[in-house]
Chain A
Amino acid sequence: KAGVTQTPRYLIKTRGQQVTLSCSPISGHRSVSWYQQTPGQGLQFLFEYFSETQRNKGNFPGRFSGRQFSNSRSEMNVSTLELGDSALYLCASSYQREGGYTFGSGTRLTVV
């Protein structure tokens, strides 16, 4: 079956702009999580959605937001981009946590 799909793979944005990233989970997975990966901070949890509801949120400013649609697809949005937002953004989906989380290849965002 298809894995977790993230689009686009690469993005270059200018400071102050906003960006929307997309994630399509594995079919049947209703939980979608987002993580930010940087060389300095490693993998950090952004937020998690289940059945269109945000259940958990990490310690990121309000500029980072997300949503989930009825088909479980999820988007995350970053407004007023800063240079420090440059990172690899990973999406993960799961059916049950005991089964673990399946990650996408990520979207690499570069802010210039």
Chain B
Amino acid sequence: AQRVTQPEKLLSVFKGAPVELKCNYSYSGSPELFWYVQYSRQRLQLLLRHISRESIKGFTADLNKGETSFHLKKPFAQEEDSAMYYCALATNFGNEKLTFGTGTRLTIIP
């Protein structure tokens, strides 16, 4: 069975400092990984997905199959980045199910 682990429940970073939110997964096949973000009093929204290899709001994430990781990074944190971040994994095509990590609450200190 697949599993997603986000080891940090809480993470505080100073404004302007680099941010890294960790995500490790367990799945024997070829996964699709996503990062979702939930800002205060807003709905869960897609931040980025590994297949697109895009940068959204300055965030990037690289899938490392050797280390089974999909860490989320941003070189310079901004106050508006404070939010709850969830890493999620989808498995075989046609199996439209997301397995979520427990989330990391990121707080940017001004």
Contacts and interface: CB of A to CB of B under 8 A. Distances in A.
Interface in B63-101: 86, 90, 93-101
Contacts of B102: 42
B97 A56 contact: yes
Contacts of B93: 97
A58 interface: yes
Given A101-B46, A103-B44, A106-B43, A33 B103 contact: no
A61 B101 CA distance: 22
A105 B39 CA distance: 12
A87 B44 CA distance: 15
Range of interface residues on A (Cβ < 8 Å):
20 to 34
B49 interface: yes
A94 interface: yes
Contacts of A56: 95-97
19 contacts: A31-B96, A35-B100, A42-B100, A42-B101, A42-B103, A43-B100, A48-B97, A50-B96, A55-B94, A55-B95, A56-B97, A58-B97, A94-B96, A97-B96, A98-B49, A100-B34, A100-B49, A101-B34, A102-B45
Interface of A: 3, 31, 33, 35, 42-45, 48, 50, 55-56, 58, 90, 92, 94, 97-98, 100-106
